[in-house]
Amino acid sequence: MLLRKKKETGSDMKIFSFFAGVGMLDLGFQDAGYEIVFVNEFKKEFMDSYCYARRKRNYNQPIYGYHVNDINYYLEDMGEHIFQQYINNERQNNELIGFIGGPPCPDFSVGGKNKGREGENGKLAKSYIDMICHFRPDFFLFENVKGLIKTQKHREYFEELKRELKQNGYILTEQLMNSLDFGVPQDRERIFMIGVLKGTELARKVICVNDTFDFPWNTNLPYDSAVVKMMNWPKPQIYRENSKRKFKYNVPRNLTVEEWFRKNNVYRHPNKKDVFKVKGGREKIQTIQEGDTSRKSFKRLHRWKYSPTAAYGNNEVHLHPYKTRRLSVAETMAIQSLPMWFELPSNVCLSAKFKMVGNGVPYLMALEIARKITNYF
């Protein structure tokens, strides 16, 4: 039997997690004091990795278990009946219920498939909203890529989803956030939406105007990404393998990849050898300057700067600042601000490891948003 990990004093809300991936969003909520009671993920290797990472720590297992299913299973017949029982159990115990999830984003990503609502992944955003409207949690969190609101056809779809939520009694707030704001060494923008159900204990704590409410998204954050980007960061420099460069810049050191590589001890991490070889050989990438992230692919990070968005699909390759290779899984997890103890199993294929880490919400971002929700309500 697992012991409960000592956690912050947080919400007593019971969290049902969807599209959990390797559990980076969940980890933030758990460490902010929430109890995850149900976990759903479509891909078994992602779920296996979720469980593996937590077995090394004293986190409770979700009382309703881990489920490898398409989310639509819970909107049909037996799946709906089973899930409704879970909800009923919590209602009988007078517990507050929250749903959290970020539907797969390739169909909305600017650099992805861009199929929108017609794509297989795009349809899952509607399924998640249908789950919310059908089972009516007190609270929900929805997360996705900025393309969902920055591209006109995707924005129209997003507005339709919001109208459905409002018609079903939800008060909403949304914000485009950058992970730099939270102390993550990465320029990564994501749209977050929070909803609370009218008539609930949570809804009585908000001031509602046109089915929306103000939420302190940008208050008390460690950084302002707009200000950070205007700082005098180092320019691209000639690449030299295993070179040494002292930190001599008037910028936040805690937002640099090298600082996080050291913090997470990436060269001794269990996933340090999880690295893709560069097609075409080492010579191909030795001419790329340290800090040259201007190209679509083969971007070489600068050790004393933050990383571009950690997205490793669609032929996007990120190179180590001072080694003639791509980034390792351990280094990618550091860029996503995951704790040093977090690791992935050796029996999962390399492409899946990069995908599950690259798709996740940066840990510090998830943690702070969860804390904000606790403090607000």
Query: What span, in angstroms and rounded, lies between the C-alpha atoms of 350 and 352?
Result: 5
Query: What span, in angstroms and rounded, lies between the C-alpha atoms of 44 and 281?
Result: 33
Query: What span, in angstroms and rounded, lies between the C-alpha atoms of 162 and 129?
Result: 9
Burial letters for 116-129: b for 16+ Cβ neighbours within 10 Å, e otherwise?
A: bbebebbbbbbbbb
User: 139: closest CA among 63, 29, 279, 56?
Assistant: 29
> In this structure, which amino acid lies at residue 121?
N
Query: Is residue 208 annotated as part of the catalytic site, yes or no?
Result: no
> Would you give the DSSP letter of residue 207?
-
Residue 187 bridge partners (DSSP): 308
Cβ 335 vs Cβ 310: under 8 Å: yes
Query: What span, in angstroms and rounded, lies between the C-alpha atoms of 204 and 226?
Result: 34
User: 322: closest CA among 357, 283, 275, 288?
Assistant: 288
- Overall size of the chain counted in residues: 377
Cβ 40 vs Cβ 19: under 8 Å: yes
**Token pair recorded at residue 299:** 């971007």
Cβ 57 vs Cβ 30: under 8 Å: no
Counting Cα atoms < 13 Å in the Cβ hemisphere of 165 gives 32
DSSP per-residue letters across 299-340: EEPPTTS-EE-----TT--EE-SSSSSBPPHHHHHHHTT--T
Cβ 109 vs Cβ 309: under 8 Å: no
Identify the active-site residue in 105, 133, 208, 349.
105
Radius of gyration over alpha carbons of the chain, in Å? Answer: 21
Query: What span, in angstroms and rounded, lies between the C-alpha atoms of 258 and 150?
Result: 32
Residues belonging to the active site: 105
